[in-house]
Structure 1
Amino acid sequence: MKPYVQPAAVLAALSFLIASGHAPATTQPRAAVAVPVREHIPRRLSPSMSQVPKRSETPKEHRWVLEDLYANQAAWDAEYAKVKHLTKEIAGFQGKLKDAETIARCFALEDDLSLLAERLYVYANMSHHEDTAEPKFQALSEKSKKLSVEVNEALSFITPEILAFSEDELRKLIADPTLNKYKRTLEEMLREKPHILSKNEEALLAQVGNVSQAPSTIFSMMNNADMKFPKVKNDKGEEVELSHGRYIQFLESRNAEVRRDAFKAMYDTYGKWKNTLAATLSANVTKNLFYAKARHHSSALEMSLYGDNIPQSVYDNLIGTIHEHLPLMHRYMALRKKLLKVDELHMYDLFTPLVEEFDLDIPYEQATKTVYDSLAPLGDDYRKVLKEGFDNGWIDIYENEGKRSGAYSWGAFGTHPYVLLNHKDNLNSMFTLAHEMGHALHSYYSDGNNEYRDAQYTIFLAEVASTLNEALLMDYLLNKSTDPKEKMYLLTYYADQFRTTVFRQTMFAEFEKIIHAKAEEGEALTPQELSSIYYDLNLKYYGDGMVVDKDIEMEWARIPHFYTSFYVYKYATGFSAATSFAKQILDEGKPAVDRYLGFLKSGGSDYSINILKKAGVDMSSPEPIRQAMSVFEGLITEMEKLTDGK
């Protein structure tokens, strides 16, 4: 359990999450967390802003202050040289980790080296993200990536040497006061020991690593580069080439014919490649089965949950509890059908706005005030830190030429977190601000209350703090709204978050579980089998009240997350845990707030499931998901009241 995670892999994951349009969170250093990519409505330009400004034209007050990491390039260069020296120094421990005192000194040096390398990497890449076309920071980013590889190589001997101890010897090390600071690291090594192979076997698995990426790489190339879609007519009757980016825009059309034609064109295209795509997904499943067997896990699912020490019952509990509440989804579909005033509700009607676009023009200054006001239930201390972030250079606010798209929270241990935005004056951007500041404050409290090794929280926890902020913001806006049209717009916005983040991601999780189980039983994952499983799940989740079009059976072929297996369930559990926290905070007040702040301060000092449980959210039970479903039911009820008589 090393304290340093290679940042190059982090940014690759971050890029994948941003590109795929899902909420993620990644294993960081310091919470490099992607926001769900919402529809980006261009910020209204003033006469003096007829085009996106260059970075040099961006006012200082709209930029983050990276000088809080390094005052200048010379300071970065000096620390870079120090890391190069420390990589040579730590090599002196190789072959000598024989006793508690030596191991403690090695761990201490490992922490120093890891933290400095993290800071160098974070600064270089955030500088690069300010203007990705700037050659100076392109070079600095590449330099930091190469350094991160060197650091990981320099540290790679530590875990194998310690795991060479017998189980009894490891337990003695864990009990040794000299290593008390590193007790959790050693306990985690002991837990993982049964699944760590011999040195030669580990070397062989490492070599297989590049080959194992083939299914994901092939899918990505097909999906993003080679897949060509036909032209379809837009709302103006113009023939426009369909693309991944335009697809949702077509499904949001008020014209049912436009929606239907785009839907059919999308899945007809995937259908032509069904055999290749089924072979690719099947190969990815086979890869998972290989690793599970090689590492002595009972199943691919058990292996995927093992890293975070999540019991399989949590995964199964999510699916089972959502099954109990599918009537709510069916009820929401009936309401959608009524609001759209259609005789039949089809799969291509799921993204059509239920109400006319409500023009909420929200300048950044107003967004920060609204977010600040909405988080009053979290107490004065939380909002004091929030205001510090708003006022003191944590946030890079607006788009500029060459700036990285999307939004994230990042930073390095020992300094405040940072947030990258591409703010527009609309509702989506205000929720993005609340979301990313949730991540930022999670990192702030985690770093401020833990040693470096224990400060890093897991992906399983990452989305809880961000989604809770969104839940409190939504509650605030709904209570404040007096305009029925605005209220319906907000209710619709929130209800669709439940549909897409809880129900849809759980359906994806169930699909993954089924296909892996079938493969483990020796069954072939043919395109017909994959399509049949996927179609039946859509029937179950959406119900008899809508037409589950046959074309949807090919949707499995276009979901990139199926190549990061057993990941999507974390969206649903994170959203449910956050909704449960929000409900407790609004219902109970200070006792629930204290528990929640304790959660933020826990970082990664214990296993994720335990941290949540101590804070009052037990994800091994159905209760948090049921609490989330009660909130969803309340939204539907409120929407039904507003539509009575219509």
Structure 2
Amino acid sequence: MPQHEPEAKQAQKVQERKAIDQQYKWRLEKLYADDAAWEKDFTTVKELLKESVKIAGSLGESAEKLYAALHFTDEISRKIENVFIYARMKKDEDNRVTKYQEMSDKAQGLSVEVQSSLSFLVPEILSIPEEKIKAFLEEHEELKLYQFYLEEILRQKEHILTKEEEQILAQAGELAAAPRNIFSMINNADIKFPTIKDEMGEEVEVTKGRYVKLLESSDRRVRHDAFKALYNSYEKQKNTIAATLNYSVKKDVFYGKVRKYPSALQASLDEDNISLQVYDNLIETIHEYLPDMYRYVKLRKRALGLDALHMYDLYTPIVKDVKMEVPYEDALKQVSEGLKPLGGEYVSLLQKGFTEGWIDVYENEGKTSGAYSWGSYDSPPYVLLNYQNTIHDVFTLAHEMGHSLHSYYARTTQPYPYAGYKIFVAEVASTVNEALLMQDLLKKTGDKNVRAYLLNHYLEQFRGTVFRQTMFAEFEKEVHERVERGEALTPEALCAYYGELNQKYYGPEITMDEEIKMEWARIPHFYNAFYVYKYATGYAAAISLSQQILQEGEPAVKRYIDFLKKGGSDYPIQLLQGAGVDMTTTDPIHSALKVFQQLVEELEQLL
């Protein structure tokens, strides 16, 4: 018989979901026992929709009618949230499964129907004289539940359209979601990355889940190859993704215009009752501290012993002889220890999340990339991870559990209308967790190298969450302004501007790789307009709060837990003021960036 060449070792493939142990998967049956229970609620929502027709036109007749309408709205909204969230999370488990693609599409379609059917509500409330609404609130005790909700509607009165126009906008909701959904399918289902050789010379498939870990490699060839593999894959899709982003921005501009805002940015900010000054202050203040970023980049270049620092050299630890592989079970212990300053109740809730099926831990084929915390008023606050045993993943766990416990506190304390909190405050709880975990790890190490390694990681959190997200925010502002001026967002224009911005934020010590100009093409948050700046403001607020918690102890912890419990029962700025930070000033941003300066100085001395 002829001799055969020995078979090449198979590339490390991402495992199929069925191969993962059940204890590492979330338990969505806590929301719906099975798909049949989901179908039942789907049908119930369809039936409830018929009732909305009977309510329209009666809101101003009496306090009882107004209360009944608002109570009905809550009932149907709560159910459609359950329906939508379950279907989307089942799809996120494996985006290739047709059944859950269909359920997710059906749920989104029904969600738009609900919005359309209830679109009469706000215009009709606005047609009731304010004095009459005040009188209704005085005479009907249960209606007082909705006082803040009604005040919020009246605040935005000039931007609410007629009943008929609101209905048309609501019906267009499914079309408006198209750019985000198309990008999600490109990014999570269709795009394929090549394999590269890892440090051992074995073939490994590049995935979005593995990408950061590959960039953290001490082998520069691995970092270079992973970087090229990722961005060359996006480059092949640049025309499609540019068109998708272009129409997402056009959608934002359209909604801003029809709601009579001066810009899409101001329309977005007004949802949180945030002034334009807060957004602009962030960008301007970060610009002041860019020399500190350049100093950190220079330190990184020196510590790595490189003649030229490339974009793919930004993630690898600059302390080489520390290997921090953290298995998932160890991560659970580290996070629990790090969050002890938040008190026994907080830590016991954390354990509940760890042991009761809140978390979907490992990457599998077709699973949505990245990490998030989600869920409904009636479900646990679920967490999606793609855990890869890195220190970065430990912080991601702490981060997402911060969101989840914020949600848990809000949902168990607030009534349904106020359990959801605004994104502006959402990133505070997640980042307080990260900051406390970091302080605990720094306190417990006496090893100079481990300390330097952790300081490097802390600086990377600042770079990724404050500087990089502000760069994204500046990019978003500019691309929306270009569309508002009637300019086209071609791949060439997007790449050119993104490249300029990248150079501005990283400075003269970085060697700008052409591929980084494509980074805009892989950022899902750009399809949720003007979201990313809240990471930076949230981080600044969180650094301040974490320092108060560690320095003051119990009084600061009480203020903070009260803030978590308040959910969305007040405006974000007021909620944060109650917790102990004032985001109408630049003080929290300056305060956070001074911590960044100190970290750079300490790391310079250690290295």
User: What TM-score do the two structures reach when normalised by structure 2?
Assistant: 0.82
Which moves more between the two structures, 502-511 or 262-271?
Answer: 262-271
Give the drift of 1:585.
Answer: 1.2
Mapping of 1:412-451 within 5 angstroms?
A: 412-414=376-378, 416-421=380-385, 423=387, 425-451=389-415
Give the drift of 1:503.
Answer: 0.5
Distance 1:497 1:102, change over 3 A: same
| CA distances 1:101-155 after superposition (whole Å, capped 9, x unpaired) | 1011222233233334444555566667678889998887777666655544553
The answer on 1:92 being equivalent to 2:54 is yes
| CA distances 1:612-642 after superposition (whole Å, capped 9, x unpaired) | 1221122221122122213322322232222
CA contact (8 A) 2:371 2:400 kept: yes
Partner of 1:23: none
CA contact (8 A) 2:465 2:535 kept: yes
Mapping of 1:385-396 within 5 angstroms?
A: 385-395=349-359
Distance in 1 between residues matched to 2:447 and 2:357, nearest whole Å: 36
Distance 1:433 1:290, change over 3 A: closer
Mapping of 1:133-144 within 5 angstroms?
A: none
CA contact (8 A) 2:63 2:137 kept: no
The answer on 1:503 being equivalent to 2:467 is yes
Helix, strand or coil for the counterpart of 1:336? helix
Partner of 1:21: none
Give the drift of 1:394.
Answer: 4.1
| CA distances 1:501-559 after superposition (whole Å, capped 9, x unpaired) | 21011112112223434554566667666555434433332222333456645544554
Helix, strand or coil for the counterpart of 1:409? strand
Which moves more between the two structures, 395-404 or 478-487?
Answer: 395-404
Q: What amino acid does structure 2 have at the position aligned with 1:316? A: D
CA RMSD of aligned residues (A): 4.3
Partner of 1:113: 76
Give the drift of 1:480.
Answer: 0.8
CA contact (8 A) 2:120 2:166 kept: no
Helix, strand or coil for the counterpart of 2:510? coil
Which moves more between the two structures, 505-514 or 216-225?
Answer: 216-225
Partner of 2:445: 481
Partner of 1:330: 294
The answer on 1:626 being equivalent to 2:590 is yes
Give the drift of 1:211.
Answer: 5.8
Partner of 2:457: 493
Helix, strand or coil for the counterpart of 1:432? helix
Distance 1:563 1:66, change over 3 A: closer
Distance in 2 between residues matched to 1:422 and 1:222, nearest whole Å: 19
CA contact (8 A) 2:95 2:188 kept: no
CA contact (8 A) 2:124 2:163 kept: no
Partner of 1:306: 270
Distance in 1 between residues matched to 2:100 and 2:282, nearest whole Å: 44
Partner of 1:104: 67
Structure 2 unmatched ranges of 5 or more: 1-11
CA contact (8 A) 2:92 2:368 kept: yes
Helix, strand or coil for the counterpart of 2:282? helix
CA contact (8 A) 1:375 1:383 kept: yes
Distance in 2 between residues matched to 1:567 and 1:193, nearest whole Å: 23
User: What TM-score do the two structures reach when normalised by structure 1?
Assistant: 0.77
CA contact (8 A) 1:54 1:401 kept: no
Give the drift of 1:568.
Answer: 1.6
Which moves more between the two structures, 159-168 or 613-622?
Answer: 159-168
Distance 1:305 1:364, change over 3 A: same
Distance in 2 between residues matched to 1:72 and 1:600, nearest whole Å: 32
Give the drift of 1:311.
Answer: 1.0
Aligned residues: 594
| CA distances 1:140-191 after superposition (whole Å, capped 9, x unpaired) | 7777666655544553433333233355555555665452111122112212
Distance 1:510 1:268, change over 3 A: same
Give the drift of 1:286.
Answer: 4.3
Which moves more between the two structures, 582-591 or 244-253?
Answer: 244-253
Which moves more between the two structures, 394-403 or 314-323?
Answer: 394-403
Q: What amino acid does structure 2 have at the position aligned with 1:474? A: M
Give the drift of 1:602.
Answer: 0.9
Partner of 1:452: 416
Distance in 2 between residues matched to 1:67 and 1:403, nearest whole Å: 18
The answer on 1:512 being equivalent to 2:512 is no
Mapping of 1:521-532 within 5 angstroms?
A: 530-531=494-495
Give the drift of 1:460.
Answer: 1.8
Distance in 1 between residues matched to 2:237 and 2:355, nearest whole Å: 52
CA contact (8 A) 1:170 1:190 kept: no
| CA distances 1:580-600 after superposition (whole Å, capped 9, x unpaired) | 211221222222212111110
Mapping of 1:45-56 within 5 angstroms?
A: 54=18
Partner of 1:576: 540
Distance in 2 between residues matched to 1:372 and 1:279, nearest whole Å: 44
Distance in 1 between residues matched to 2:479 and 2:488, nearest whole Å: 9
Which moves more between the two structures, 359-368 or 95-104?
Answer: 359-368
Which moves more between the two structures, 232-241 or 344-353?
Answer: 232-241
Q: What amino acid does structure 2 have at the position aligned with 1:433? A: L
Q: What amino acid does structure 1 have at the position aligned with 2:307? A: D
Partner of 2:373: 409
Give the drift of 1:450.
Answer: 1.2
